[in-house]
Amino acid sequence: MGYELSKENIAKGSNLICVETAGHEGVELVADWLVRDMEAVFGQKPQIYVVTAAGADTVSGKLPIICASADRGELAAKLGESGVIDLARISGKRECYIFKATDKALYIIGSDKRGTIYGMLHLSELIGVSPLSDWMDIRPVRKDSVTITEEDDMISKEPSVKYRGFFINDEWPAFGNWCNKRFGGFNAKCYAHVFELLLRLKGNYMWPAMWSSIFPDDGPGLASAELADKLGVVMGMSHHEPCLRQGEEYKYLRGPQSIYGDAWDFRKNKEGITRFWEDGLKRGGHLENVITVGMRGEFDSTVLGKEATLGDNIELIRDVLKTQNELIRKYVNEDLTRVPRMIALYKEVEAFYYGDDTYKGLQGEPELDGVTLMLCDDNFGNLRTVPSVEERDHNGGFGMYYHMDYHGWPISHEWVNSNYLPKIWEQMTAAYEFGIRELWIVNVGDIFTNEYPLSFFLDLAYDYEKWGASNLDAPAEYTKGFVRTQFQGLSDQTRTTVEELLAGYTKIASVRRPEAMNVDVYDPVWYGETDDLLDKCDEYMTAAEKIYKETGDYPFYELVYYPLMANLNIQKMWLYTGLNRYLADLSAADAAADYAGRVDDCLKRDSEIIDELHTIHDGMWYGMGMSKHIGFKYWCEEECAYPVLSTVRRPDKPRILTCIPGTDRHTEGNFWTKSNLVLDTFLRPDAKEGTIRLYSTGNGSMEYVIEGDTDAFDISSLKGEIRCGEYEDIEIRLRTGAGAKAASEADESGCRTYVLHINSPKDHDQDKSVKLEAEIRVPVNTKDYSNLPEGTFVWCGIDKEGQSSPHYTVLTDEKCKPMGYISMEAAHFADSHRVGEAGFTEINGYGRTLSGMKVFPVTDSYAPGNDAPYLDYSVYMEDDGEYDVDVYVTPANPAYKNNLLRYGIGVTGSDVQYVNTVASDYAVGDDKDEWKQGVLDNIRICSSIHGFKAGLNTLRIYACDPGLVLQKIVIYKKNERPAKSYLGPKETYRRQIQ
């Protein structure tokens, strides 16, 4: 019935792990991990049996787990010959394994060392061991037995991407302190855990930490490097560390008397630098590496000064490559084609590769034959230039250096995870589709808290067929599996909540990263975006708290609770700061003070969370919370500042401030400044309830009565008293049947505008200076939209509510006309036009609001004109006229050097306009403001002007250049932009047939 692994078998000396004497040493090392895993599951420790191929037969009665590799030893061949396995299925392939169970034995036969190891770790997963088990001390669910059946038999695939790994970076203060305390340094004891994590996540490649350590020397000595080699971990070094030499090394070794000279300058100190590289290759060239070539300046800076021309730089790099290739031939392998090499086209090096009109770049340079060209994202998860069709056949292939952590301009992100799977999926599937398949490396900072996106990244690289572009639901599906793997002990229902928590907090953090949060990001009032986000944060935090209380589970704490709490607490803190400042400016002294108190609580909570992280689980994460993350003023933490809080004294007299929530409209309604407010809720035909908020902003209590057209509404309170420092929300519902009456009384615009007066009671106060006299207009939309097509967005705004009160100018800002806009989620199109297999497709959960619309296949371009996929939006207008159409798109970078990332747009019947979402001189990089705004806000808003006619219109948006993702569309009368906010106006009324 299959192969049985069980406590009982192990106790009897069965289920022993059989490895071959002549096999890979790494396989024997990994057998130890398997022992650990099986003991954890079954409570019994199995034995390892190291045998010759011949000797393997002697354990046949012991239900052996036979681990062998086709490329070393004789056991695999012997099994093949005996017909137990079909070795041909894997021979010559990369990193594959046969996994085959019989009643008597389990065969794990790799095509090579990593193949066998992945097969062995596959078994671990099958018995319920998480790939994060070692790294995070995740204990599997105890079982008595697991049966492996024929259904589990498999021949694994070749990994989709050849080199798949991560980069520990920006390791101070978090990883560095953690590592020093736990392991005494960046040594092999530490890397043993890192390598195990990498391999269990099906990676095979890594760059070590580099800011204060020397990987090939701190093992001690080569210990770390040799361990990597044994385990099949291919080492690289960071993009600016050529020839197996770390940047820190030169800092230590240089000097006036040094044999390496005293200048990181290939022009002035060629001999010293060459010798430095030579000794690096001599030391580590015999191990499995992807050797970085090329050269950059020290500390991640430019290689030549500002005076140097592009030509100087290109020439220099060409010389460098020549020298490095010669050294590699001499010390690593005469056949350069057999030495994996990589050059990073990162920051300024990208320009050296492409050259310009004057200087031919390094593209096509013979010294780059066989060298993998490593491209990169913009440090914020957006790919930069991708290979054009012609470039894609470069014989060294392409790599991608991606960032889940970044220490640099405009604002670093290196504290807790703020990476969101749908974005990673969208970008890395594009990378793959554009032919970037040789090497994927991701900067994971301190690793800790990035385990979730890192797992996804490496699984995507390993099995693109499963998680790639063809699986639109990959992020959610992956999250489901991830939660199931890590939290096997939780109920299905709880696991579903945990999925929501992971997706939820990462979405919030990706909309604005915690380090980039500040008081000016979200508007404190407009469109309720602050309130909504606070609600969301509270919902997630409460749920996380509940699960953690119930389970007391460290992995839950580490994988979900901590990054969620840490992250959302900071989001809340800044939202509270915004409310504090807003309310203080309104003299709502008590409310402001309340929010100031909440900010203080958040600051306290921030310390508590980090202290807690540093002590739980026997302090195993000490150090990991140390990165600064509050109030960045520069790109780095320097001069970072806690929130500036506002306090104000209450005005001397009683006052009531009448506010319309979701807007900044407010009035104290006194005699002279009397300004009309408009409660525009009921302009939406589907509105249920509107709210008026009354704040006490003065000293002393104050009474109010609501008068006027109160008959039309059910009003939660018609009179009352607001006590000093408090507020009351007056809920207003259209009275049943009031709609018909309103319709009969509507004006020519189809509205019936009721007026409510919020007044002081007549006998309230003889001193006219504390009189309350606020007037609120409540227009009710009585128009009949029942003949409009399903999905039509309807203009509900009105123009003429800002009327003057008898003598005095009304303060209603022209730009804040009630509902003076249409806002549509991009996914709420009325019709979608495909061209062949190409068409806009929704990426669920993507972006800042509902989702994203992207054209698949992602590599295609469409000539402006007839043959492009498009989306149609149905829009019903009240007035003919010119309108601005703001299109919210993902802050993608143009795919190619042409700097084009366009969409076509037009109202059907009019000409199509082509809008480039970036400026013609757009560039990624420090001091590039357009790019900066995009990555900070995680959006780019593009605008064009179109004529709409009164009645039904179709707004059509065409695909054009690859990479565009539509998120939201906002339409408003020309130059009458709705009030500014971070997320823009919420979606407006859309006709839906019930």
Stretch that binds a second copy, among 131-139, 182-190, 579-587, 716-724 (CB under 8 A): 579-587
Q: What angle, 0 to 180 degrees and rounded to 10, lies between the N-to-C axes of helices 188-200 and 223-231? A: 20
To which residue do tokens 């839950």 refer?
556
Cβ-proximal residues to 865 (8 Å cutoff; 6+ apart), any chain: none
In angstroms, give the least distance from the CB of 747 to a second copy.
Answer: 20
Q: Which of 769, 786, 787, 994 binds a second copy (CB under 8 A)?
A: 769
Q: Which of 648, 724, 810, 952 binds a second copy (CB under 8 A)?
A: 648
In angstroms, give the least distance from the CB of 648 to a second copy.
Answer: 5
Report how far Cα 951 is from the mean position of its chain's Cα atoms. 41
Q: Which of 12, 271, 615, 634 binds a second copy (CB under 8 A)?
A: 634
Q: Which lies closer to a second copy via its Cβ, residue 39 or residue 612?
A: 612
Q: Which lies closer to a second copy via its Cβ, residue 176 or residue 891?
A: 176
Q: Which lies closer to a second copy via its Cβ, residue 296 or residue 973?
A: 296
In angstroms, give the least distance from the CB of 521 to a second copy.
Answer: 17
Site string for a second copy, 299-318 (x = CB under 8 A): x-x-----------------
C-beta of residue 866 within 8 angstroms of C-beta of residue 883: no
Asked if residue 427 binds a second copy (CB under 8 A), the reply is no
Pick the closest to residue 199 from 137, 132, 139 (CA basis): 132
In angstroms, give the least distance from the CB of 657 to a second copy.
Answer: 8
Amino acid, single-letter form, for residue 758:
I
Asked if residue 686 binds a second copy (CB under 8 A), the reply is no
Report how far Cα 496 is from the mean position of its chain's Cα atoms. 20
Cβ-proximal residues to 759 (8 Å cutoff; 6+ apart), any chain: 704, 705, 706, 707, 771, 772, 773, 774
Amino acid, single-letter form, for residue 353:
Y
Q: Which of 338, 549, 762, 807 binds a second copy (CB under 8 A)?
A: 807
For residue 137, give both structure tokens.
Answer: 């001390």
Euclidean distance between CA atoms 587 and 695, whole angstroms: 10
Asked if residue 643 binds a second copy (CB under 8 A), the reply is yes
Q: Which of 651, 661, 685, 864 binds a second copy (CB under 8 A)?
A: 651
C-beta of residue 453 within 8 angstroms of C-beta of residue 506: yes
Q: Which of 337, 496, 673, 898 binds a second copy (CB under 8 A)?
A: 673
Q: Which lies closer to a second copy via its Cβ, residue 670 or residue 859?
A: 670
DSSP helix/strand/coil, 366: helix
The number of residues in the chain equals: 994
| Three-state helix/strand/coil letters over 190-207 | HHHHHHHHHHHCCCCEEE
Asked if residue 115 binds a second copy (CB under 8 A), the reply is no
Count of CA atoms in the C-beta half-sphere (13 A) of 211 = 15
Binding to a second copy, residues 39-98 (CB under 8 A): none
Asked if residue 639 binds a second copy (CB under 8 A), the reply is yes
In angstroms, give the least distance from the CB of 172 to a second copy.
Answer: 8
Stretch that binds a second copy, among 26-34, 146-154, 264-272, 631-639 (CB under 8 A): 631-639
Euclidean distance between CA atoms 751 and 730, whole angstroms: 22
Q: Which of 25, 671, 714, 834 binds a second copy (CB under 8 A)?
A: 671
C-beta of residue 624 within 8 angstroms of C-beta of residue 178: yes
For residue 325, give both structure tokens.
Answer: 């290739």
Q: Which lies closer to a second copy via its Cβ, residue 252 or residue 642?
A: 642
Stretch that binds a second copy, among 314-322, 394-402, 492-500, 668-676 (CB under 8 A): 668-676
CB atoms near residue 716 (< 10 Å): 16
Q: Which lies closer to a second copy via its Cβ, residue 149 or residue 673?
A: 673
Q: Which lies closer to a second copy via its Cβ, residue 289 or residue 646?
A: 646
Euclidean distance between CA atoms 89 and 110, whole angstroms: 11
Q: Which of 60, 496, 647, 943 binds a second copy (CB under 8 A)?
A: 647
Euclidean distance between CA atoms 245 and 241, whole angstroms: 6
Asked if residue 642 binds a second copy (CB under 8 A), the reply is yes
C-beta of residue 544 within 8 angstroms of C-beta of residue 501: yes
In angstroms, give the least distance from the CB of 937 to a second copy.
Answer: 23
Asked if residue 603 binds a second copy (CB under 8 A), the reply is yes
What's the sign of the alpha-carbon dihedral 236, 241, 243, 246?
A: negative
Binding to a second copy, residues 824-843 (CB under 8 A): none
Asked if residue 644 binds a second copy (CB under 8 A), the reply is yes
Asked if residue 646 binds a second copy (CB under 8 A), the reply is yes
Asked if residue 929 binds a second copy (CB under 8 A), the reply is no
Q: Which of 279, 433, 668, 884 binds a second copy (CB under 8 A)?
A: 668
Stretch that binds a second copy, among 39-47, 78-86, 614-622, 646-654 (CB under 8 A): 646-654
Binding to a second copy, residues 119-178 (CB under 8 A): 173
C-beta of residue 682 within 8 angstroms of C-beta of residue 751: no
Pairing outcome for strands 97-101 and 234-235: unpaired
Asked if residue 760 binds a second copy (CB under 8 A), the reply is no
In angstroms, give the least distance from the CB of 773 to a second copy.
Answer: 11
Q: Which lies closer to a second copy via its Cβ, residue 423 or residue 666?
A: 666
CB atoms near residue 92 (< 10 Å): 10
Q: Which of 258, 363, 670, 913 binds a second copy (CB under 8 A)?
A: 670
Euclidean distance between CA atoms 717 and 707, whole angstroms: 11
Asked if residue 181 binds a second copy (CB under 8 A), the reply is no
Pick the closest to residue 157 from 218, 108, 89 (CA basis): 89
340 cis-preceded (ω within 30 degrees of 0): no
Q: Which of 53, 234, 400, 584 binds a second copy (CB under 8 A)?
A: 584
Pairing outcome for strands 3-6 and 881-889: unpaired
Asked if residue 927 binds a second copy (CB under 8 A), the reply is yes
In angstroms, give the least distance from the CB of 636 to a second copy.
Answer: 5
Stretch that binds a second copy, among 643-651, 757-765, 847-855, 877-885 (CB under 8 A): 643-651
**Phi and psi, residue 371, nearest 5°:** -90, 130
Euclidean distance between CA atoms 677 and 660, whole angstroms: 8
Asked if residue 724 binds a second copy (CB under 8 A), the reply is no
Stretch that binds a second copy, among 67-75, 559-567, 637-645, 952-960 (CB under 8 A): 637-645
Asked if residue 491 binds a second copy (CB under 8 A), the reply is no
Asked if residue 766 binds a second copy (CB under 8 A), the reply is no
Euclidean distance between CA atoms 426 and 420, whole angstroms: 10
| Three-state helix/strand/coil letters over 146-164 | EEECHHHCEECCCCCCCEE
Query: CA distances (Å), 77 to each of 16, 59, 82, in order?
Result: 21, 18, 8
Asked if residue 414 binds a second copy (CB under 8 A), the reply is no
Asked if residue 472 binds a second copy (CB under 8 A), the reply is no
Q: Which lies closer to a second copy via its Cβ, residue 641 or residue 945?
A: 641
Site residues (vs a second copy, CB under 8 A): 173, 297, 299, 301, 581, 584-587, 596, 603, 634-636, 638-651, 655, 668, 670-673, 769, 807, 809, 926-927
